[in-house]
Amino acid sequence: MNKRQQRVQRLIDAAVIAVVRSPRRDLIVPLSNALIAGGVVAIEITTTTPDALNAIRDARAAFGDRAMIGVGTVLENITCRAALDAGAEFVVSPIMRPSMVQGCHAADVPVMLGAYTPTEAQLAYEGGADFIKLFPADTLGPQFVRALRAPLPHLRLVPTGGVDLSNAAEFLAAGCAALGVGSSLVSAEILKNQDWAELTRIAEAFITAARSVRPVGNVK
């Protein structure tokens, strides 16, 4: 198993990927620490975070192997390359951009491309995507995942947008490889109040939901 395959497996083992849209770079380390304390160890720092590349560097330096720090909302190849240079351990795009795959794989980094339809999901897979980001998942739901995986069981699906504590377990039971969880985990209110204890509590609840379906490991 090469390094990229190991990282793919670590994301699957993590089960929950926190999608972080922070209003400030300096919040990244404390919020990540709160997530890790709750068992959520895969953290996607979106490019909408101010100074996102340095935020990735901050988190990698602070947590090392305790967490997997990736980048999200990557729309362009130049941004992808810059994030890889900053140390991102996985790359997530909400769109199907297969041109990102080669650079990510050359750096031993998994890449997740966005899709909404069966055709898009299959084309992303054929383009080399390690994971398919189903987005926005709230308009699709676990039933869609079951239907999609019946003819296309090889797809590693990661629903994002609309995943919360009420449906997290059902998405995993439907066969998702992992879950992308944004505002239902790292809410604007938590960020505003810097309520890290509440963030840890919600992270623990998501991990408990995931563990009701399958074993959840860590990134070590």
Which residue of the set 76, 133, 170, 204 is catalytic? 133
Does the annotation mark 133 as catalytic?
Answer: yes
What are the helix (H) ranges across 129-173? Answer: 141-149, 168-173
Who's near 210: CB < 8 A, 6+ residues apart?
A: 15, 16, 168, 169, 172, 179, 216
Which residue of the set 3, 44, 120, 189 is catalytic? 44
CB 14 within 8 A of CB 40: yes
SS3 41: coil
Q: Cis peptide leading into 136, omega within 30 of 0? A: yes
b/e 190-212 (16+ beta carbons within 10 angstroms → b): bbeeebbeebbebbeebbebbee
Catalytic residue IDs:
44, 133
